[in-house]
Amino acid sequence: MMRSERKTEKWKIPGKWTLIFLLILLAFYRYQNILAENYERQVVSWIGQTEKDRTVSAFTEPDEEAYQKGCEALKEAGYEETGKIWLEKRIRSYGIGVFVAAIGILCIVGLLTELHMEKRRKKALDNQLVEKDRELEAKLAENGYSFSSANSINIGRLVPQIVYYVYAYARLYKNGVIAKDEKINVVVPTGNFGNILAAFYAKNMGLPIGKLICASNENKVLFDFFSTGTYDRNREFILTSSPSMDILISSNLERLIYRIAGNDAEANAKLMASLSSEGKYAITDEMKAQLADFYGNYTSEDETASTIKKLYEDTGYIIDTHTAVAAGVYDKYKAATGDTETKTVIASTASPFKFTRSVMDAIDEKYDSMTDFELVDELSKIGNVAVPQAIEEIRNAKVLHDTVCEVEEMPQVVKKFLGV
């Protein structure tokens, strides 16, 4: 197995500049204390002056006799701290406030500096990885190998997924659930925007689909895109119980962008270039208007678990975490739009047996102490469904692959596997 997580460098606040800035702040703090003490003596001296003297100058050089009289007057007024009076405290508190604010500014400047440096380090690393990828591609080509992809970035996977929705519509019509040409809604849990793009293609091919409801988990980059028109991957990556949707760069969205950009490859390329360089892009109002058939929302981890539990308690039917995201978003769609009459297909994209621990914990926390295969058997029992054969075979299967490597080691590992 290859571990794709990139090691994150520890943040380093620039030490030299931090020390210099702190020394400047300490010098400023000491200077303002001197000013405060001098100012305090001036004010107290003014209090100790006669009315006649006050009309000449409010704040002249501190007079010792007037200062002592001022202190006595303040003591008589109830201020017990002779000389170091309330005024000095207020002046000093002002200085402390400035000092604290300056420290806060230092932290913000340091953080922004480090973020900028981290961004540059990542960009440099990305460039190095791209260069290594090109070298590896050339090396493999010399030996008759080439890379391909079998996930939803490959159009060869999207084509059969179109059939899902045609088949679902045909079954609904055959069973008398819908009338001829009656529109249905489709809810798809997605991270890479592949399965729902297949539904979009089916709709464009003539299948009567009304709303395409895009369901996201807490990595809600697609929800934000449909809400604002801006795609922004610059955010925290969250590990959820629906890992197939834990994606911040939705590869297939590029295909939709191409369509709403008027099939303009150049305009599409500019937006994707912005995503690569800045981590985000924004579509035009005209393009966003073409997304009217889409509705996006997301469910939190707690909402996902609650959906699994409620459905099981109400019906005895058990769904996996990804399907629960879709079901939860569908509930939000009905609440937001009032559309409760349109027949709706919720795409169940995975088996609960793939995510037994998350599913069983959602139903009841008592299952948390069980082993993985105990959970499989218990899921089969309470759901009244047979354990899939593929999972049965895993029980005693021999471990074939145990290789673990870092990202930068992947080219060497691939070459070792292929013997090139």
pLDDT tens, 360-377? Answer: 999 999 999 999 999 999
Give the pLDDT band of residue 30 (cuts 50, 70, 90): low
Name which of 33-47, 72-86, 112-126 the model is least confident about.
72-86
For tokens 């994209």, name the residue.
349
Give the pLDDT band of residue 54 (cuts 50, 70, 90): low
Name which of 138-147, 203-212, 245-254 the model is least confident about.
138-147
CA distance 388 to 385: 9
CA distance 190 to 170: 23
Residue by residue, DSSP assigns 117-133 as HHHHHHHHHHHHHHHHH
Q: What is the pLDDT of residue 11?
A: 42
**Is the four-CA dihedral 49, 54, 56, 57 of positive or negative sign?**
positive
pLDDT, greater one: 47 or 153:
153
Strand partners, 186: 212, 345
Q: What is the pLDDT of residue 284?
A: 96
Give mean pLDDT, residues 344-372: 95
Strand partners, 189: 215
Burial class from Cβ neighbours inside 10 Å (0-12, 13-18, 19+) for residue 4 reads exposed
Domains of the chain, first to last? 15-127 (no CATH), 155-350 (3.40.50.1100)
Name which of 105-109, 288-292, 361-365 the model is least confident about.
105-109
Q: And the tokens for 316?
A: 């005895």
Residue of 357, 358, 382 whose CA lies nearest to 370 = 357
Q: What is the mean pLDDT of the chain?
A: 83
- 315 pLDDT more than 80: yes
Give mean pLDDT, residues 139-153: 82
Strand partners, 230: 282
CA distance 98 to 84: 21
- 13 pLDDT more than 70: no
Q: What is the pLDDT of residue 61?
A: 59
Helix (H, G, I), strand (E, B) or coil at 345: strand
- Residue 110: how many CB atoms within 10 A of its CB? 17
Burial class from Cβ neighbours inside 10 Å (0-12, 13-18, 19+) for residue 204 reads exposed
- 314 pLDDT more than 60: yes
- Range list of β-strands (E), 139-232: 184-189, 209-216, 230-232
Chain CA centroid to CA 54, Å: 64
Give mean pLDDT, residues 260-264: 95
For the ranges 89-98, 123-132, 332-341, the one whose mean pLDDT is highest: 332-341
Q: What is the pLDDT of residue 357?
A: 96
- 65 pLDDT more than 80: no
Tell me, what amino acid is at 138? A
Q: Which long-range contacts (CB under 8 A, 24 or more apart) does 110-119 make?
A: 110/13, 110/14, 110/18, 111/13, 113/13, 113/14, 114/11, 114/12, 114/13, 114/14, 118/9, 118/11
Please, what is the angle between helix 321-337 and helix 301-315, to 10°? 90
- pLDDT tens sequence across 222-243: 999 999 999 999 999 999 999 9
Q: Using DSSP bridges, classify how beta strands 280-282 and 230-232 pair: parallel, antiparallel or unpaired.
A: antiparallel
Is pTM beyond 0.85? Reply is no
Q: And the tokens for 367?
A: 């299952």
Within 13 Å, how many C-alpha atoms sit on residue 355's CB side? Answer: 24
Q: Using DSSP bridges, classify how beta strands 344-346 and 184-189 pair: parallel, antiparallel or unpaired.
A: parallel
Name which of 187-196, 358-367, 404-413 the model is least confident about.
404-413
Q: What is the pLDDT of residue 368?
A: 92
Q: What is the pLDDT of residue 420?
A: 87
For tokens 């975490």, name the residue.
321
Three-class SS of 269-312:
HHHHHHHHHHCEEECCHHHHHCCCCEEEEECCHHHHHHHHHHHH
Give the pLDDT band of residue 6 (cuts 50, 70, 90): very low
Residue of 362, 193, 384 whose CA lies nearest to 294 = 193
Whole-number percent of the chain with pLDDT over 90: 56
In which region does residue 419 sit, left (phi positive, over 0), alpha (psi from -120 to 50) or beta (all else)? left
DSSP state of 59: S
Q: Residues 139, 147, 121, CA angle at the centre, nearest 5°?
A: 75
- 194 pLDDT more than 80: yes
Q: What end-to-end distance do the CA atoms of the chain give, in Å?
A: 19
For the ranges 15-24, 46-55, 115-124, the one whose mean pLDDT is highest: 115-124
